[in-house]
Amino acid sequence: MPLTIGGQVTRDLRLGLAALLVSALLAGCQTATAVPPAQQSVPPGQGSQPANAEPLKIGVLAPATGPFASGGAAMVQSLRLAADELNRQGGVLGRQVVLVTADSQGKADVARTEALRLIERDKVWALIGAYLTESTAGAMEAAADQKVILVVPVAASNEITAKVAGNYARYRYVFRVSYNINQWAQLMGGYVESLGIKRYAFAGTDIRWNHEYAQALKGLLGGRGITPVYEGYYSSKEPALGAMLKAIRDAGPELLVLGDPGKGSIEFVKQARATGLKLPLFSVGGALGDARVAKTLEPGDYLSFQAAAWRGSNPRASRYFSDFQQQYKYQPVGYSDTLPHEALTVLAQAIAQAGSLDTDKVVPALESGEFQGISGTYRFDASHQAQWGAGRGLQGVVVRWKNGADQIVWPKGP
């Protein structure tokens, strides 16, 4: 969801505008974009449009309320672009794609209830969601109970695919296109190591995946002689940052890793700079990957962030960034507004390869196929985790802001 930053706009007005935008996005996803039959092209293997074919309903679980509502809105925007692209090409097996959304609220019990509602009342064929690990865990149970495919586009906890590996018969319908905690640590750890530092600090929101991520990063970097001198967490609702920033400064790190994809990260950076904490900052991405946000921060080249894809990282990514900016009038951040697009397009490719909407045929197609996306080539391992990492077809990038302009700084080109 676009962020309203700076100026004389009050916090309450920003929240009100955000709520209106999320509501509009959710309402706008109830119907597919109509494409006149004469303009439809059907990709190879998808067949012709059946007469009076019913639409293919995809349920979307995303937080429309709460501290991560902006991430939920970004998910919906990304999926709308993917659905529109598929429908312009004739749909999936000749069926127009319709997104049906529900507010997960970032809570496991709500996500499970809403997932069941989407399946039983709205008759969706598959689910995509649900942003946070906690809410995704709830959606997984509903998908397993109903034997419905769930594609996870954002949540990173290792528990998600560990359940598939540990109880395949029950969770075989769950696939994840985003990177898991260990892969994320490898992606960011490679860049940290390239900086040649020996001491870093970790700070972030007090949510489950952040604790898991901090431990994974510590284990990875520790084996390379890079140690954390501080680790701390703050509330995503009412962060108290003064004491934390002082403790970080006193610990003397050479780099601060910031685990907060939400709007709280913006205030963190501003307070850090205002209180004299001038060391380089490396963000997990999200809000700090927003070009509009970068222009509101203190000038310099101190802020870097990680993204699944970025403009210039490959031709597909450049086209997607251009399409997204043309549609929504701002540049995507390369994560929660990009990976959901991957989730739907990978699913559509698997259906086309299976030549069927029989779930028991689509699951094997997902397990054995290769699928082209914005970030690269998707392949799933035995736990249904997309294979991210150097040489695996999906690597991600690190981008640095310099006075509001972006530059890919890792991995280094040939």
Q: Which of 234, 161, 231 is nearest to 202 (CA)?
A: 231
Q: Are 256 and 279 in contact (CB under 8 A)?
A: yes
The tokens describing 105, both together, are 């609220």
User: Is there a single domain that holds both residue 210 and residue 351?
Assistant: no
Q: Which of 375, 246, 398, 271 is nearest to 315 (CA)?
A: 375
Q: Determine the Cα–Cα distance for residues 146 and 204; give it in Å rounded to an integer.
A: 36
Segment 158-163 mean pLDDT? 95
User: Is there a single domain that holds both residue 141 and residue 211?
Assistant: no
Domain annotation covers residue 388: no
Per-residue confidence band for 50, with pLDDT thresholds at 50, 70 and 90: low
- Residue 363's Cβ-side half-sphere holds a number of Cα atoms within 13 Å equal to 21
Segment 83-108 mean pLDDT? 96
Tell me what pLDDT residue 26 has. 44
User: Is there a single domain that holds both residue 367 and residue 337?
Assistant: yes
User: Is there a single domain that holds both residue 168 and residue 43?
Assistant: yes
User: Is there a single domain that holds both residue 405 and residue 373?
Assistant: no
CATH number at residue 90: 3.40.50.2300
User: pTM to 2 decimals?
Assistant: 0.85
Backbone phi and psi for residue 316, each to the nearest 5 degrees, phi listed first = -65, -45
Tell me what pLDDT residue 66 has. 84
Gap between the terminal Cα atoms of the chain:
35
Tell me what pLDDT residue 353 has. 98
Domain annotation covers residue 331: yes
User: Is there a single domain that holds both residue 207 and residue 274?
Assistant: yes
Q: Determine the Cα–Cα distance for residues 311 and 331; give it in Å rounded to an integer.
A: 9
Domain annotation covers residue 390: no
Q: Which of 225, 378, 201 is nearest to 282 (CA)?
A: 201
Q: Which H or E run includes 305? A: strand 303-307
User: Is there a single domain that holds both residue 271 and residue 322?
Assistant: no
| Mean pLDDT of all residues belonging to the chain | 88
The more confidently predicted of residues 19 and 358 is 358
Q: What does the pLDDT look like over 269-300, one tens digit per residue?
A: 999 999 999 999 999 998 999 999 999 999 99
Per-residue confidence band for 41, with pLDDT thresholds at 50, 70 and 90: very low
Domain annotation covers residue 256: yes
| Residues of the domain holding 365 | 11-179+314-378
User: Is there a single domain that holds both residue 45 and residue 138?
Assistant: yes
Domain annotation covers residue 386: no
Domains: count for the chain: 2
Task: Inform me whether the pLDDT recorded for 19 exceeds 90.
Answer: no
Question: What one-character DSSP code corresponds to residue 239?
Answer: -
Tell me what pLDDT residue 412 has. 77
DSSP for 156-208, please give it. Answer: --HHHHHHHHH-HHHHTTEEE-S--HHHHHHHHHHHHHHTT-SEEEEEEESSH
Segment 60-68 mean pLDDT? 91
Domain annotation covers residue 221: yes
User: Is there a single domain that holds both residue 24 and residue 54?
Assistant: yes
User: Is there a single domain that holds both residue 102 and residue 246?
Assistant: no
Q: What does the pLDDT look like over 227-257, one tens digit per residue?
A: 999 999 999 877 889 999 999 999 999 999 9
User: Is there a single domain that holds both residue 76 and residue 187?
Assistant: no
Domain annotation covers residue 208: yes
Q: Where does 70-137 show beta strands of DSSP type E?
A: 97-103, 126-129
What three-state secondary structure class fits 100?
A: strand
The more confidently predicted of residues 250 and 35 is 250
Task: Inform me whether the pLDDT recorded for 68 exceeds 90.
Answer: no
Q: Determine the Cα–Cα distance for residues 322 and 299; give it in Å rounded to an integer.
A: 26
User: Is there a single domain that holds both residue 278 and residue 406?
Assistant: yes
Domain annotation covers residue 2: no
- Out of 167-181, 230-244, 394-408, which region has the weakest mean confidence (pLDDT)? 230-244
